[in-house]
């Protein structure tokens, strides 16, 4: 795969004829956009500061262990199959998906466990085992979830939402579906057991949302999991990114990795300000008819368009937004443990003693770290032996933490190792006895890493928090109203964060970008 490009060769490729699109960022949203624009007839150049494609979905190797840095599951496989089909390709020939059974296991503070799976009767049995009186409420919750899936994902999520008229058409449905109610409040209206309330409401945390404030539209995840399952891509999500890059190059597209974009260039024309290309950190100018930014929307407007006067997405307006929480992720390998900790599967959620309290602290008390924590633990080596040396294991443990959007943010240079030790101690005490003596390799990411590596404002893990007034039309649009010819994909635009949504954002952009022949005329 091409990583460094001679500017002269790049310019020659751009002059080959036909409209040229530059995609800023080789995350999953950017790669999906590049694939769709290639299918529409554009010559595409993807530019990314990292050395490998995938963005947050990339991987790194250390001491024989492959660490998947970000997303770990595929919940809606058809978004990838449709994407590949749009390019005349077969996704299943390029990527192997393995269904997870169970999806994940939740470990509660009282030691009780809840195994989530696709089989409806097994799920009902799990609910009945914890709280028999909540079974009828759970059945109603699933019906509620299905309604929100068809409206929220299939309807709103797959079409442009930049025009107020589109939102006006569906406002009454938001009312009918009680979008004003939070995810947790909706779960609490259906089941009484606090453990079940947690199990049915924690999913927004995986896209950066506070379950006690994010709109109940996001309960759609329960139906989505039941209908399509939860899958793991062999080789990790990085294998999907690599396959996407391969499709782009197969279309004649160019990937310029290890190359940083400094600015989006804009030219004033009689009736609009029009994008003309990008300037790289090296000073090189890459001309383009269309620019698609997979960089965070906040970074795109605040930094890449810093020399262009903006009227809506100003520095001040973006600073006032609610940004998703930060993430502390400890990546570690263990030696000789493949047969140990048999009750720790591929995906585990380890709950601390507080649910509402810790979420409130993370989202509203951003100057300090909690003394307790809840963790998502990923153990890919139980499914994919290539993730670790033979007999060993690869893990990551993710803890939601405050972002850096504070006058006195947490100093992770001073607190990172201490917090990593706290994560290890918690896991060793509650789930994996003897963990410390088996750790053979280790590294961790903090919100400062997300800020510096992924250029994420305030080190937010998932861009803007998906509250109701930061969703759909209220989120930065897929087509920029600031500059003609600029489009957005990824977590910071519509429909939001999470693998299905960032890939779907490219589908939305493909509906907005004119076909290549119309530009060539």
- Digit-coded pLDDT (tens) for 486-518: 999 999 999 999 999 999 999 999 999 998 876
Domains in the chain, number: 3
Greater confidence, 17 or 466? 466
Minimum mean pLDDT range among 173-182, 394-403, 429-438? 173-182
Query: Is residue 177 included in any domain, yes or no?
Result: yes
Q: In the sheet where 393-401 sits, what is the strand order?
A: 113-116, 104-107, 347-350, 375-378, 393-401, 326-334, 439-445
> Tens of pLDDT along 70-110?
999 999 999 999 999 999 999 999 999 999 999 999 999 99
Phi-psi map region of 108: left, alpha, beta (phi>0 left; psi -120 to 50 alpha):
beta
> Tens of pLDDT along 250-267?
999 999 999 999 999 999
Q: At 231, is the secondary structure helix, strand, or coil?
A: strand
Please check whether residues 126 and 44 belong to one and the same domain: no
Cα–Cα distance for residue pair 415/397, rounded to 1 Å: 17
Please check whether residues 188 and 207 belong to one and the same domain: yes
Cα–Cα distance for residue pair 485/292, rounded to 1 Å: 8
Peptide bond before 102: cis, by omega within 30 degrees of 0? yes
Instruction: For residue 388, give both structure tokens.
Output: 């670790």
Query: Is residue 107 included in any domain, yes or no?
Result: no
Closest CA to 337 of 443, 234, 431, 238: 431
Q: Indicate the average pLDDT of the chain.
A: 93
What pLDDT sits at residue 2?
44
3-state secondary structure 3-59: CCCCHHHHHHHHCCCCCEEEEECCEHHHHHHHHHHHHCCCEEEEEECCCCCEHHHCE
Contact assessment for residue 368 and residue 410, using Cβ atoms and an 8 Å cutoff: yes
What pLDDT sits at residue 10?
45
Query: Is residue 255 included in any domain, yes or no?
Result: yes
Contact assessment for residue 103 and residue 118, using Cβ atoms and an 8 Å cutoff: yes
What pLDDT sits at residue 1?
41
What pLDDT sits at residue 290?
98
Please check whether residues 384 and 290 belong to one and the same domain: no
Please check whether residues 312 and 348 belong to one and the same domain: no
Please check whether residues 449 and 512 belong to one and the same domain: no
Q: Which residue has the tokens 């262009």?
A: 308
In the structure, how many helices (H) and strands (E) does the chain have?
18, 19
Minimum mean pLDDT range among 5-14, 163-172, 333-342, 426-435? 5-14
What pLDDT sits at residue 18?
80
Segment 466-473 shows an average pLDDT of: 87
What pLDDT sits at residue 365?
83
Q: pLDDT band for position 16 (50/70/90)?
A: low
Please check whether residues 480 and 500 belong to one and the same domain: yes
Closest CA to 120 of 145, 156, 98, 151: 145
Q: pLDDT band for position 4 (50/70/90)?
A: very low
Contact assessment for residue 93 and residue 106, using Cβ atoms and an 8 Å cutoff: no
Residue 84, CB half-sphere, CA atoms under 13 Å: how many? 18
Q: Which residues are registered as beta bridge partners of 350?
A: 107, 375
Query: Is residue 114 included in any domain, yes or no?
Result: no
Please check whether residues 337 and 433 belong to one and the same domain: yes
Domain holding 51: CATH number? 3.50.50.60
Query: Is residue 131 included in any domain, yes or no?
Result: yes
What pLDDT sits at residue 354?
94
Strand ranges inside 308-382, DSSP E: 326-334, 347-350, 375-378
> Tens of pLDDT along 305-320?
999 989 899 999 999 9
Query: Is residue 102 included in any domain, yes or no?
Result: no
What pLDDT sits at residue 174?
82
Q: Which long-range contacts (CB under 8 A, 24 or more apart) does 386-389 make?
A: 386/66, 386/234, 386/235, 387/65, 387/66, 387/68, 387/236, 388/64, 388/65, 388/66, 388/333, 388/338, 389/64, 389/65, 389/333
| Residue 55, domain extent | 7-96+235-320+465-520
Contact assessment for residue 480 and residue 132, using Cβ atoms and an 8 Å cutoff: no
Q: Which residue has the tokens 């500061």?
A: 49
Segment 348-357 shows an average pLDDT of: 96
- pLDDT cut 70: percent of the chain above it: 96
What pLDDT sits at residue 177?
86
Q: What Rg do the C-alpha atoms of the chain give, in angstroms?
A: 22
Cα–Cα distance for residue pair 252/39, rounded to 1 Å: 10
Please name the residues in contact with 165: beta carbons below 8 A apart, sequence gap of 6 or more: none
Last residue of a domain, one of 161, 195, 229: 229
Q: Which residue has the tokens 């706290």?
A: 422
């Amino acid at each position: 795969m091409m990583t460094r490009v001679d500017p002269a060769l790049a310019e020659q490729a751009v002059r080959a004829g036909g409209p040229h699109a530059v995609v800023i960022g080789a995350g999953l949203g950017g790669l999906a956009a590049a694939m769709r624009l290639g299918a529409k007839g554009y010559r595409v150049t993807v530019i990314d500061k990292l050395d490998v494609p995938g963005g947050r979905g990339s991987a790194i190797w250390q001491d024989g262990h492959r660490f998947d840095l970000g997303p770990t599951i595929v919940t809606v496989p058809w978004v990838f199959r449709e994407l590949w089909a749009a390019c005349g390709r077969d996704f299943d020939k390029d990527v192997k998906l393995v269904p997870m059974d169970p999806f994940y296991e939740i470990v509660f503070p009282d030691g009780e466990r809840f195994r989530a799976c696709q089989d409806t009767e097994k799920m009902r049995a799990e609910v009945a085992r914890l709280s028999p009186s909540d079974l009828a409420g759970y059945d109603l919750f699933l019906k509620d979830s299905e309604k929100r899936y068809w409206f929220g994902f299939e309807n709103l999520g797959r079409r442009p939402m930049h025009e107020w008229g589109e939102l006006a058409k569906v406002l009454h449905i938001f009312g009918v579906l009680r979008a004003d109610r939070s995810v947790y409040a909706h779960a609490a209206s259906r089941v009484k057991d606090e453990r079940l309330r947690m199990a049915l409401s924690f999913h927004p945390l995986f896209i950066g949302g506070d379950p006690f404030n994010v709109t109940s539209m996001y309960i759609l995840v329960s139906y989505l999991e039941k209908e399509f399952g939860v899958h793991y891509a062999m080789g990790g999500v990085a294998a999907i990114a690599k396959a996407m890059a391969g499709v782009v190059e197969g279309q004649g597209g160019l990937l310029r990795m290890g190359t940083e974009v400094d600015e989006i260039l804009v030219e004033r024309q009689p009736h609009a300000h029009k994008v003309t290309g990008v300037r790289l950190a090296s000073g090189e100018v890459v001309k383009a008819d269309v620019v698609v930014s997979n960089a965070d929307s906040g970074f795109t407007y605040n930094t890449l368009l810093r020399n262009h006067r903006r009227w809506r997405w100003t520095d001040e307006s973006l600073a006032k937004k609610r940004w998703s929480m930060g993430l502390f992720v400890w990546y570690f390998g263990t030696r000789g443990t493949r047969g140990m900790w048999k009750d720790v599967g591929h995906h585990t959620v380890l709950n601390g003693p507080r649910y509402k309290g810790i979420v409130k602290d993370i989202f509203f008390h951003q100057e300090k770290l909690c003394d307790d924590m809840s963790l998502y633990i990923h153990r890919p080596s139980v499914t994919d032996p290539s993730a670790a040396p033979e007999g060993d294991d690869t893990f990551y443990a993710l803890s939601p933490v405050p972002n850096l959007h504070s006058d006195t943010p947490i100093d992770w240079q001073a607190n990172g190792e201490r917090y990593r030790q706290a994560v290890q101690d918690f896991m060793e005490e509650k789930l994996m006895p003897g963990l410390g003596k088996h750790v053979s390799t280790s590294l961790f990411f903090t919100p400062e890493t997300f800020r510096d590596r992924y250029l994420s404002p305030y080190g937010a893990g998932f861009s803007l928090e998906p509250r109701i007034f930061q969703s759909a039309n209220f989120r930065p649009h897929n087509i920029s109203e600031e500059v003609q010819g600029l489009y957005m994909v990824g977590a910071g635009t519509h429909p939001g964060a999470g693998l299905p949504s960032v890939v779907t954002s490219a589908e939305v952009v493909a509906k907005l970008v004119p076909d290549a022949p119309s530009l060539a005329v």
